[in-house]
Structures are given as C-alpha cells and as structure tokens.
Structure 1
Amino acid sequence: MTPAVNEFLDEMRGGRMSDAPVVSVQQGSLQGRLVSAADGKAYYSFQGIPYAKPPLGSLRFKAPQPVEPWEGVREATAEGNVSAQIDPLFHKEYIGDENCLFLNVYTPNLDGEFLPVMVFIHGGGFKWGSGNTSLYGPDYLVDRDVVVVTLNYRCGPLGFLCLNTPEVPGNAGLKDIVQAVKWVKDNIQNFGGNPGNVTVFGESAGGVAVSLLTASPQTKNLISKAIIQSGTGLNGWAFQKTPLENAKALAKTLGCESEDYEDILEFLSTTPVKDLVVANSKLAQPELFYEKASSIFAPVVEKEFPGVEAALTEPFIDLLTSGRTAEIPIMIGSTTLEFMLGHTPEDFQIFIPDNLSLKRNSEESLAVAEKIKSLYFKDGHTGVEHLTEYYQLLSDKLINIDIHRYVKYLINVSKKPIFYYKFAYVGELNVHGKLLTSLGLKHASHMDELGYLFKNVLQNDVEPTAADVKMRERMLRLWTNFAKGGNPTPEENHFITVNWQPVTKDNLYYLKLGSELSLDTNPDKKKMEFWEELYSKYFKIWEEPIKNDIAVEQVTPLDETQETVYEKQETVDEKQETVDVKEENVETETVEDDSKSEPNANNVDEQEYVTDTNGIVTETEEVVQIVTKSEEIIETVTESENQEEVKPDIVESVTASETLLEEVKPEVVEEPEPIVEVSPLKEEVKIVAEEIQGPKVTEIAKEYQNGNAKIHRNGNGYLDKAPLRTSNEIKMAVKANGAPKDVIRANDPPEDDLPKNIGVNKFVNFFESLGGKK
C-alpha cells in the first residue's frame, strides 16, 4: 500500500475521520472535509477535484481529455489551481497555472437524498476568474438543500485560441465546461446530488457560456434548467470576430512573424504560459470591450472536421431563432447599470451595434447616432452630470439589448417557461457598492446580485442591514426554488410576496428585484422599442456568419459593362479542389483539374443561376443540366507569365461572356421557374488554399491572411468588406409575357442562408418573427 493509504487507514482506526468524509467517484476515492457555514450549520466540502487530464505539453490549446484514475484516496480539501491569468480584481498580477481543470463540490449531506444540483460558471470576460470561494462561497446556497458545484476552465488564449485546424479548432475553454458538466452527471449522485436535475447558472461571460451550453450538441440531455445572468450568446463580445487574425497578433506580439499556422501553433505551444497571458493582456485592453464590444479570445463558431467533436458549429442566433436550443426552463436577467467606465463620447456612432451593418459616417449611421443621443440624454446634454444616462446606454449596448432580443426570440420557439428579471437592489452586500458610492450613484451594477447568492471576501468587513438579509433570503429562495422545480415562486410567503409569471408573446413579464418585489411588463419599454425598430430595419440574420471556414474566398467585382455571368457554388474536396477556368474577351491562361468535387455539403439541391447586373438570378432546370453535364465552373484566373506572383483576383471569379449565354439560351424552358434571389455570399466559389497543389497557393493564402483580398470572409465567417449587392431595392421578376410575376427584395437570402428548418416559402413569416415587416 502507498503511504497515503496507510495514513488514511491509521486515521480511520484512530477514529479521527468524523471531519474527513470520503466519497467514491469513477476515477477513485476523494477525501473532503466538514465545513462550518456562516450561520453555524455544517456542510461537506470537496475541493480541487480534477475533472479532466491536465492540459499540459501537447495538450495545450486542445480539447480536454478524460481524467485518469488514481490509486488510493485523493485529498480534496483545498482549491485547485486557477487558470493562468492576470486577475484585475484581487491580485492585479499574474497568477494561476495551465493545470487548472478542477471543480469543487459542496453538499449538505452524503446520504443519497438526490438533491437538486446547481453548477455555477464564473465570469471574467473569458480572460480571468475562477470558481474559488474568494467570490463564490457556497454557504448560503448549500443551506437551501441543494448541491453546489463551482469550476475552473481555461481562460484567454489557453482556452479560446482558434486556428481552424483539427488540432486547434477553438472553444477548448467551453469544452472544459462541458467536460465538467459531464463529470457532474456521472458522479454527483455520490455526493447526494440528483444527476437528473442539474441547473447550470452563470454571470457575465459565465452567462454567455450557459446560453451556449443550451445550444451545444455536447450537452444534449445533460442540463435540466439554466439561469443566465448579465450575458448571452447574442452579445457582440461573446464571440471572436477574427480568430485567425487574433492568433497571428498574439504570436507577433511575442516575436513570431510567421504567417504559417503550423509555425504559429508550434511557437505558441512552446512559449511560457506567463508570456502568453501577459501578451493577451496587452492585446485585450478594456477599451476593446467597452468601446468596440469585442473580445480577443472568446468562443467561436467551429469549423467541422471528421472525428473532431465540436461544441458549436453554427451561429448561436441560428440555433436560437430556429428552436434548436435545449427545451428547458430559463431564468434570465441583468442589473440596473451593468457597466460604469469612461465618459460620454463625442461620436455616438460607437453605440450602434456592428451587426446592424451601418457604414460609419453614412447618412443613415449619423441619423441613428443622433437618435440614440436624443433618446438617452435630455436636451442633448452629455456632461459629467449625466453619467447615469451614459452608463445606461453603455449597459444597454453591452448587455441589455441582447438579453431583450434573446427573450423575444426564445419565446417564439420555446414551450418551456422563461422568467425575466431586473436586479435593482442597492445594499451593503452589493459587490460594486463602494465604487458606486464614490461616484455618487445608487444603482445595482454588474455582479452585484452575486453578493446575495454567494459569500465572498469582499463581505468580510461588511455588516448587512436587516433589509440586506431579507434581500439575500429572497434571492436564495428564488434561485433554489427554480433549481428544484423550475418555478421560482411556487408559493407566496413573507419573503416571496409575488407570483413571478413567465413571459408570453403578448406580455413581457419581468420581476423587479428592488427593496420590494414587483411584477411588471416591458422593462425599459421606450428604449427597447427603439432598438427593436433598428433591428427590424437593419439587421439581416442571413448576413451573420454562416460557418467558420479557413477557405480563401474572394470575388472579383462585376464590371459595369458585363451584362451576365454564370455562378456555381462548389464544395471543397478533402484532397483537392476541381477548378476549370474559362474566360472570353480577356487574355488568360486556363487551369484544369480532372478531379471531382464532393456532393453539396449543405444538403441543398445543386442549382445553376443566370444573373444580370442588377443581381436578379434566374434558375432553370435546363441550365443546371447543361452546366452539370459539362462539369465546367466559370472562373476568371489572371496569372503572370513567369508565375512569380498570383493576385488576389485569381482565387475565383464568376464571369462568362454573352457568347456562352447565347449557347445556353435555346436549352432554357419556355416558362421559367419563379425567380429566387441568391446572396452572392453563398454563391462564391470556395477554394481551400491548403488543399490545392502548387506554389502559387501559398501566395494566395498569404493574401488572404494579410487581409489584402478584395472581398473575403475572416476566420469566423464574417465579411471584411461589403458584399457586391447591398441595396434593398425591390426587384420585379417578369413572366414570359412581360407581366410582373413575383416581388423579391434584393437582400432576401436563398434557402440555405436561413436556419435549417426555414425554407424560402416561409421566409416572410420568419422575418416577421424577428420584428420585420412584409
């Protein structure tokens, strides 16, 4: 036997184990301890439990691996390492370690009563934080007969570096959380918890993570209920916008100038972890979050690879609006003033969400900015005496608008209750109370509700008032009631004085958590109606990222003299891309390849389109047959004589001469099918640089990576430049006799640009559900 086992047996024989409980899990045995809670009651604590293999060496940046079994009894009496980070709240210097995949279990008993389980996900902007008791002491919650689990996950580049490769597809930190939830599901019954009643809750970045877990295929049937506090997957900062560029920027900051992602991975894999964290802190300045609503290292929409399990492969908004998130009860809300930083800007265009796609300094953008200013600031005054108004605007931009959107979208597709709240209470236990007082403001701020759910070190010298104690009791009952049965107010009593009704399509009920509880409808009604109108007018769901693809995508803008083109989308063969090139009236060389492409990866019928310069696309079966039969893709390829340089325009083109059109015309049926508008974003020919042979591909890839391509998607699927067709002008499709046949908006997407279960014929209803108009 090992010395540890002998010592353990000696303690048992000596009768000294009353305060050292032992629990068996799948990997071995754990020795915890008996802890005295704040009110004098005792609970069992098991800390520093490994839920995954240490992500060291070759496992850096990789998805978590199952934890290996251990022999004997493992001590679980102290918290494990936190993720490597610079903690801005307590230490303000580098702390932590790569070996950080630990969780903590706190339970009121070990007798197998199968109590509800609450798993908390910490915030910190995906850069810092932990599940430690410094902020998240379980004393109050455990006293309400629930099992509490807190955990650490990899933050910053360690958890969210994405290279769009099978080795580093991204979301390692999110997968850490998934792995922890799976561990809870497999083992929590040994701690007196019910694996069939697991509520996941989190705040800020933790709230984002919880919302993503409800949409991830990896957590299917693992989560019973979710509580989302001050953050959702709709927030602009919830996802990386340019993951590949972020990876290169990190490497360059550390001295790696290579553009090759294999070189970057090798370099970052061998860089000291502290250097990674410090470099990330230089890149991820607070202004990036507050002014740009952006994150350097955060979740991504993963590119799919055979045999690689992904946490998220589709945009969260697609999954949400099409009803493909977990069908479970949801509690969601925010605080009165989430953020307080900075001062009122001169240019209010920074408050216009990026996904509205308004061109900066355009007439529309300036007009919207002026409306924002007049809505939030009385008489247009924006001085220091109006800090509250500024913080309200900042909080709406970063949190509240998207929580409102989340609720509105979810209520259209979910049959489960959705409980909406606003935390407005100001007391001695507010986490940011001292800061607010120094500013002369009396509002609940970001994280303030946590002081009424968890014991934390900030409360060590605080004497709560009677009102604070009452508020804490209310919060604890609401949260644990929801975890136990999905209803936060199953009955009214001295603490719970209202019946919290879930939202409906007709009434956006919400509970105001102030000095007293009150049920109302439509929080910030005037402001939210303003943002709803903006989204109804400018937001186009089909222009959100479709997928995360490393493919080099470019389009040569159509020349005004060109009247017609052929377009065909090609899926990429895993080994080699088939490229047949032809152009008339331009001196080019033709590059041919006899290999065949794979079937349509999106399960959308292969189609061929005849497009005029106005962007109207006519689909005919004969054209499809002709082009399919000939197996030709028309692309423009310009290549220098000595092949020393390949211009960005080489990657793809969609041009063909009028002569070729004339050859096709006799084959077209007399009565064409209804005209369907096709977004050029989906019809671009995709060429994966790494999978095409030849020295010129490297140059093409560099053009893409350096951002010099005329039009291309970045690593997360967003367009860096505006698409070819931006007008929303109404186009008229004409029948053979010249009469108008259908009215199509120029920006209406093709069927495969919409969520999977929504076809073109259902687009109007779908668009109206988002607040749009016919």
Structure 2
Amino acid sequence: MRATNLLSFVWLFYAAQIHGFPYNKSAYKEVRITDGTVLGKLIVTHKNTEFYAFQDIPYAQPPIGPLRLMEALPALPWEGVLNTTENSKICYQFNQKHFDSRENEDCLVLNVYSTADQSDDELLPVLFWIHGGGFSVSSGAIDLFGPHYFMDKKIVVVTVNFRLGPLGFLSTDDGVLPTNLGLRDQNLALKWVQKNIASFGGDPSKVTIGGQESGAALVGYHVFNKKSQGLFRAAILQSGSPLSCMALQKNSKNFAQSLAKALTPNNQSDLTSQEILHIIKTADIEQLKTETIKLQIARSFRPDFANCLPMASYPMSAVKEDENDENAFVTGMNHERLKNGDINRVPTLLGFNSEEVLVYNVSKLLVQTSLIDLNVSLAVVANLIMADENRKEAGKELTKLYTNSTLASTQLGSVGFMGDCAFTTPIARHALLQSQYTDVYLYQFSYLGILGRYEYTDIEGASYVGNKEELGYFWHNATADNLDQFPKEDILTHERVMEMWSQFIKHLNPTGNNSEVLGDFKWPKVAEEDFLYLDINSELTVKSGPKKYFDYSRVYSKYGSEKFDTY
C-alpha cells in the first residue's frame, strides 16, 4: 500500500481486530475525486448485490464560525485518503422529538453508493435524494435511507445533508441575512455531483433529483430555479410541492426578530437586521436549538402566523427573495411560474399517499379542526391568496365536502380535510399545470402493508396510508433488514414501485419497458382532458380526477385571486 495510505491501512487493521474479520482490500475501495481520495466500504444487499458506500464526503467547507449563516463554499482539497465509511455527522435537528449524537454544524456532507460489478466505462443513471422532515429535522444517513434496493437496480445513489431550521431557512426579508441556505447547499451538492459522480460510475447527464414531503418541495424549487438548470434531467416529488402551503414561509422577518430577542432576553426594542444576523451568528448552538424549538411550538398555536392551517404550519421553509437580486434563488409566485412554464422543463413523477395526515396525532388534528369550526375562514390555507371577505364562504364550501356537521365531530372528516388541503390538492394542481410543458406521471400510494407502517390510531372508513409510509418500500432500514419476513403482498408492492421508479430514473418513463413484475401495464401521462393518475394498491389501477381536486379547484376559482402563489 502506498505511503499516503498508511493511516487508512492502520485504521482498517484496527477495525479488523475490533470486528473480527480479516483485512481484505476488496472489502474497501479508493476513489479519486477532484478534492482528493475517498475510501468506501463494501456492502451486500439481500439479493447479494455488492456495492460500495462512500459516506460523509464533504461537498462544502464547514459552515461554522464566521461561515455560519453564509452561503456555503466548495470543499477544500485534502491530502492522503479520507475515510468515508461511516455516517458520523448530521445537521442540527430543530425539533423537540429529535436528538442524535451525530448532530454537528460541520454537516455539509453527502453519501455516494455505487455497485461493485460495473465495468470502468459503464456509467449508470443517478438518483440524488433530498430528505424530508419539515425543513427542520432528518438527514441523508444510511440508517434512514439505505440505498440497497436501488443498488439491485444498478442506479447510483447520492443522499445529501443540508442546513436545517434557522441555519438553513431563516430570513430578515431584506437580504441582510443570506436566505434559503438549505436550498443553496443542495445546489452546491448538485454541482459537486456533476464534477465527481463519473468517478463513482455515475452518469452526470442522467441525474434525477428526488425527495419526500419538505424534500419534495425543495426538489420542486430546483425545478423552478434557473440556477439549478442543467444539473438534473428529471424529478421525483413524493408528498410535497412548492405549491403546498407549508412550502413557503410567512412572517419570516418576525420569526427572526423573535428568535434573536429570545437569545438576548435583555433586548426589548426591535432589532435591526444587522443585529439579528450578529446575534444568531454568534449564538451558542445548543441555545439556538432550544430557543428555536420553543418559538416554533409557540407559533404553532397562533393562526396569525400560519402559512398553512391552524397548528399545521412550518415556520422554517423556503422564503421568497427579491427578483432584482441576481443571486436570488426563490423568486416570483410559485403557482404562476408553473402555470406559465417558467421552470426547468424536465419529466416529473409525483404523488401523494391516500391519507397523508393520518400519521400525525389524531387528537391534535381534532383540536386543529375545532379551531376551524369556531372560525370557518381558517379552512382556507393561509398562503392562498384570497380576499378576507371571501374566506368565510369558501371555508363553508370546503368543510361541507367532509361533513354536514362540524369537522371536529368526525375523525374521518378531519383527517380527509387536513390531508386534502395541505397535500393532495396542491400536488394534483402541480401535476396538471406542469403537464402542459413536460411529461408528468401522478400517483396515489394506497397500499396498506407492514413494510412501511407507522403506528397511528385506527379510524373507521379511512383509506389510510399516512405520510412517509411509502418510504419503506424504496429505502432499506434496520427494521426491514430481511424482506422475506414481510407478507408476499408487501414484497410485490415493493417490487412494483421499485421497477417503476427505476424505469423512470433510467428511461424517463416508469412503464416504458415490459417487465416480469409489471407485465405490459402502462402508466398514462397526466393530461388535462381526463386527468389520469395511478392508484398503487394491491393492484395497479388507473383512475381519473384525484381525490377532491375538482371541488377545491372550483372553490378556489370562485373565491380566490386571479393569481396564486401556493394552492
């Protein structure tokens, strides 16, 4: 082994002693990229596909000290071999229920996974995955997003960490505090992929960006943004869209002001943007986390700060920027940009689960809908542009779609209403608008299995499936280490969706080629005249007119503005 690899050799020897396996160089692989050499480890899937995992590769300089709240800079080169065989760092998590010992401000890293059996001149299509988590939690770590199933399909996978919460999505609305840093982190990571992915056997001209929930909304913002043009050729949005009410902040300056005051309780008067920037930039990270969580909880009970529905808003999400700023990343009105085709026109696959909000606390949902029963104007999502005098009548018509009484009197009505407002309606609208300019494939995931199941209250008549449940059919994790332990129907659904998503990533058409698991089934593209979508259940069924989309469209058209931002 070369002298420059001495430290890596020592580490591998030590690991061999600890884990009780003989050192075998074929179990590890070195890859040279633009910044240096990285060391990956061999992993084997349940189907005996061998692949190499390169974890925690830096794509940017650590955004710490003076670089906190600044746009990320490309990573600096390193000497020797960088050990990238473990996920040891994730970005700070800004939620009271999430704690991880790996939390670190030095977190701008990504993971690359590629099969071990491809020839040197064979370049494979790439999936670049952006995790969800309400813009505040989660990561791209392998324990959450194991790439094993995509490895069986010979697709190179990249998962990315990016700044969350106030470190990634805080704004003073005047350009003093750099805005949408989490999105800009992803943009830098996509540029890294263009420079380096061929070294891992990936084809930079065949990159598909994908994400779930807030990650899907972020994918949509890359589709909208010209700064990401040419960095990908297709997009997958699962349970999210920039048209979703939760995807765009309201009162961002006020949140930044309140957070800065909480960090300096002696400050009673309003702070300037420069003062806010200084306070948050120099704050102790644990105190910043604590005060952010407290403020987010307090704001969730304030309808006047909602961007979505009562107690169902994301204080941390994308922020609209000044269109005259040449460095702006999120500009214009989301709905109108999509309507006018002012986007990166790439084939897109998107959809929702059949009962998205069922995964959330049902008693909390009933509290939310009881607030709407007291003030029916709140039934119209806050980000929807509608005159105040029209909101009451629009709210009445929307709630009547679910109950002849009060929303809170029926669990089923509450769950259906909340899910349609926040998820299915804006996603369906996104699909229909974009179908004027690109190929679009819309789905509803309705299969109620064990493989992705979350614990939640059973509600009679609910069609299930809750938010995030489809992820278990795409991503390997510790609870699904052996697929043989699951029902045959679960495995069949897993094989079907993996085949369709893989065909889309490879060929831009989810059912372009006949296959053993799909036969000659064809998933039709979205078209305005019949608005077809695929219902993924025990059977694959093509249906028309998703959920209550046409009812919402009628109400929004009747009472809303001529132009919209979210929908």
Shorter-chain TM-score bucket reads 0.7 to 0.9
1:339 paired residue number: 357
- Aligned-partner Cα distance in 1 for 2:206–2:199: 14
1:194 paired residue number: 203
1:455 paired residue number: 476
1:212-239 superposed Cα distances (whole Å, 9 cap, x missing partner) = 0011121111111000111111111111
Q: 2:425 aligns with which of 401, 411, 419?
A: 401
Contact 1:141 1:480 in 2 (8 A): yes
* Residues 201-212 of structure 1 aligned to structure 2 (within 5 Å): 201-212=210-221
- Aligned-partner Cα distance in 2 for 1:336–1:190: 40
- Where structure 1 has 5 or more consecutive residues not aligned to the other structure, the ranges are 546-769
* Residues 72-471 of structure 1 aligned to structure 2 (within 5 Å): 72-86=80-94, 91-92=98-99, 96-109=103-116, 111-112=119-120, 113-164=122-173, 166=175, 168-255=177-264, 257=267, 258-285=270-297, 291=310, 293-303=312-322, 309-340=327-358, 341=361, 342-343=365-366, 344-345=369-370, 346-347=373-374, 348-358=376-386, 362=389, 364-377=390-403, 379-380=404-405, 382=407, 386-412=410-436, 414=437, 416-432=438-454, 434-437=455-458, 443-459=464-480, 463-471=485-493
1:540 paired residue number: 561
1:520 paired residue number: 543
What is the identity, as a one-letter code, of the residue corresponding to 1:392?
G
Partner of 2:157, secondary structure, is strand
Contact 2:309 2:380 in 1 (8 A): no
Partner of 2:350, secondary structure, is strand
* Residues 18-37 of structure 1 aligned to structure 2 (within 5 Å): 18-37=26-45
Partner of 2:28, secondary structure, is coil
Contact 2:209 2:232 in 1 (8 A): yes
Distance 1:369 1:94, change over 3 A: farther
Larger Rg: 1
Partner of 1:194, secondary structure, is strand
Kindly state the Cα deviation for residue 356 of structure 1 after the two structures are TM-superposed.
4.5
1:491-510 superposed Cα distances (whole Å, 9 cap, x missing partner) = 34442152001011212110
Contact 2:49 2:151 in 1 (8 A): no
Kindly state the Cα deviation for residue 521 of structure 1 after the two structures are TM-superposed.
1.4
Kindly state the Cα deviation for residue 517 of structure 1 after the two structures are TM-superposed.
0.4
Partner of 2:489, secondary structure, is helix
- Aligned-partner Cα distance in 1 for 2:459–2:480: 18
Contact 1:51 1:101 in 2 (8 A): yes
What is the identity, as a one-letter code, of the residue corresponding to 1:371?
E
1:41-86 superposed Cα distances (whole Å, 9 cap, x missing partner) = 3211100100111001111111110110001111110114111114
Contact 2:63 2:106 in 1 (8 A): yes
Q: How many residues align?
A: 535
Contact 2:176 2:273 in 1 (8 A): no
What is the identity, as a one-letter code, of the residue corresponding to 1:99?
D
TM-score by length of 2: 0.88
Contact 1:51 1:179 in 2 (8 A): yes
Q: 1:495 aligns with which of 490, 503, 517?
A: 517
- Aligned-partner Cα distance in 2 for 1:55–1:199: 27
Kindly state the Cα deviation for residue 18 of structure 1 after the two structures are TM-superposed.
1.2
- Aligned-partner Cα distance in 2 for 1:93–1:136: 16
TM-score by length of 1: 0.65
- Aligned-partner Cα distance in 2 for 1:442–1:327: 34
Distance 1:282 1:94, change over 3 A: farther
- Aligned-partner Cα distance in 2 for 1:438–1:535: 29
Kindly state the Cα deviation for residue 293 of structure 1 after the two structures are TM-superposed.
4.7
Distance 1:88 1:490, change over 3 A: farther
2:17 paired residue number: none
Q: 2:494 aligns with which of 472, 475, 478?
A: 472
- Aligned-partner Cα distance in 1 for 2:342–2:386: 29
Kindly state the Cα deviation for residue 536 of structure 1 after the two structures are TM-superposed.
1.4
2:19 paired residue number: none
Distance 1:164 1:359, change over 3 A: closer
Q: 1:508 aligns with which of 531, 535, 542?
A: 531
What is the identity, as a one-letter code, of the residue corresponding to 2:539?
E
2:18 paired residue number: none
- Aligned-partner Cα distance in 2 for 1:271–1:5: 39
What is the identity, as a one-letter code, of the residue corresponding to 1:404?
A
Distance 1:544 1:6, change over 3 A: closer
Distance 1:353 1:441, change over 3 A: closer
1:643 paired residue number: none
Partner of 1:85, secondary structure, is coil
What is the identity, as a one-letter code, of the residue corresponding to 1:406?
H
Partner of 2:54, secondary structure, is strand
What is the identity, as a one-letter code, of the residue corresponding to 1:519?
V
Matched, 1:5 2:8: no
Matched, 1:530 2:530: no
Partner of 2:476, secondary structure, is coil
Distance 1:62 1:254, change over 3 A: same
- Identity value in percent: 29
Contact 2:226 2:344 in 1 (8 A): no
What is the identity, as a one-letter code, of the residue corresponding to 1:26?
T
Partner of 1:531, secondary structure, is helix
Kindly state the Cα deviation for residue 244 of structure 1 after the two structures are TM-superposed.
1.3
Q: 1:66 aligns with which of 43, 58, 74?
A: 74
Distance 1:267 1:500, change over 3 A: same
- Aligned-partner Cα distance in 2 for 1:133–1:370: 46
Partner of 1:320, secondary structure, is helix
Contact 1:246 1:297 in 2 (8 A): no
Contact 1:94 1:274 in 2 (8 A): no
Contact 1:85 1:94 in 2 (8 A): no
Contact 1:430 1:444 in 2 (8 A): no
Partner of 2:319, secondary structure, is coil
What is the identity, as a one-letter code, of the residue corresponding to 2:511?
T
- Aligned-partner Cα distance in 1 for 2:250–2:441: 30
